[in-house]
Amino acid sequence: MDGGGGFALRWALLGCVRLCYNPGFPRNRGVFPPHGDSIVTAKILDGKALSQQIRAELAEEIADFIQDSSVVPCLAAVLVGDDPASQVYVRNKQKACDQTGMESKFQRLPEDTSMEELLTVVNRLNKDASVHGILVQSPLPGGLDEPRIFQAVNPIKDVDAFHPENVGLLVQNRPRFLPCTPQGVQQLLLRSGVETAGAHVVVVGRSDIVGKPTAIILMQRAAGADATVTVCHSRTRNLPDVCRSADILIVAIGRPRFVTADMVRPGATVIDVGINRTDEGLVGDVDFESVKEVAGLLTPVPGGVGPLTIAMLLKNTLHAARLQIGT
């Protein structure tokens, strides 16, 4: 039996444990419920609200740019095939352009588009002076050589930063564009007051789009970076141990609810980049329900990194327009 005295003692002990283990407590709003056994320690990072703030800032910059230059920044999106998720992403990107005062063009191509046809479309957009940013939605249908398509985009219009020239500039810490999702992760950390300098960041996933560039950005000698970065993948030994050593755990492995509470150090910041469609709806790569009891800060899915990715695409498109008209 657990009377009132036992209850109070239990909370007092839990408080001590959390003060010892959770470096973010009480800054990270450890919430002690008045009754019941549910303990919610993680502050949930609201990516939607943050992205709205960034988009409002960008809308002002875009209005000033248009007034000064009489040029309206324009993003061209190319979608090949019928992937429902990609259709939603591209529609959201176009909507975001409209809402911030930019133009957007949309080129939809059938599933059986050949390399030559797609290269012709990309080359036409490269030459179109009214288009400042080009985005070819990934993944492309099988049979299309994605790296070759990314390399065909004019590097100065490459708002994804997937072109080898832009990847090289990033690696040398003189970026022309920062890739959108990694840049969104960095903005989330910066604007949430998470210190990256000297922190141990563990990135789970080594994709060209998220894992690798996120690791590169956060290890650079730069504001919002200067971290010690470990990259994990499917062949990493003792993955849970490595994850548990992270001050900041960034998960982009494409497996639903892959990271569980036992893989997270109490008080750590956990950024979930995954978007997985399951029978229960959209879920991240992090088991939100268990990890929120352990983490200090945690991003939800949806409403975490996703909206930041779109905001960074808008930022890159404005930057591309500036580069192209020389302001």
Is residue 247 near ligand GUN by the rule CB under 6 A?
no
- Candidates 290, 241, 292; CA nearest to 270 is 292
Residues 261, 137: Cα–Cα separation, whole Å: 33
Is residue 51 near ligand GUN by the rule CB under 6 A?
no
- Candidates 273, 267, 265, 327; CA nearest to 300 is 273
263-322: contacts with ligand GUN (CB under 6 A)? 309
Is residue 180 near ligand GUN by the rule CB under 6 A?
yes
Is residue 253 near ligand GUN by the rule CB under 6 A?
no
Residues 195, 85: Cα–Cα separation, whole Å: 33
Is residue 113 near ligand GUN by the rule CB under 6 A?
no
Is residue 151 near ligand GUN by the rule CB under 6 A?
no
- To 10 degrees, what angle do helices 180-191 and 305-325 make? 110
Q: Which residues are catalytic?
A: 93, 137, 160
Residues 325, 71: Cα–Cα separation, whole Å: 8
Non-local (6+) Cβ contacts of 7 within 8 A are 35
Is residue 181 near ligand GUN by the rule CB under 6 A?
yes
Is residue 183 near ligand GUN by the rule CB under 6 A?
no
Give the 3-state secondary structure of residue 285. Answer: coil
CB nearer to ligand GUN: give 163 or 292: 163
Is residue 160 near ligand GUN by the rule CB under 6 A?
yes
Residue 74, strand partner residues: 103
Q: Smallest distance from the beta carbon of 153 to ligand GUN, in angstroms?
A: 10
Token pair of 3 as six digits:
């009377």
- Which residue in the set 97, 136, 259, 283 belongs to the binding site for ligand GUN (CB under 6 A)? 136
Q: Which residue is nearest to ligand GUN (CB)?
A: 138
CB nearer to ligand GUN: give 165 or 195: 165
Q: Binding residues for ligand GUN, per CB under 6 A?
A: 135-138, 160, 180-181, 209, 309
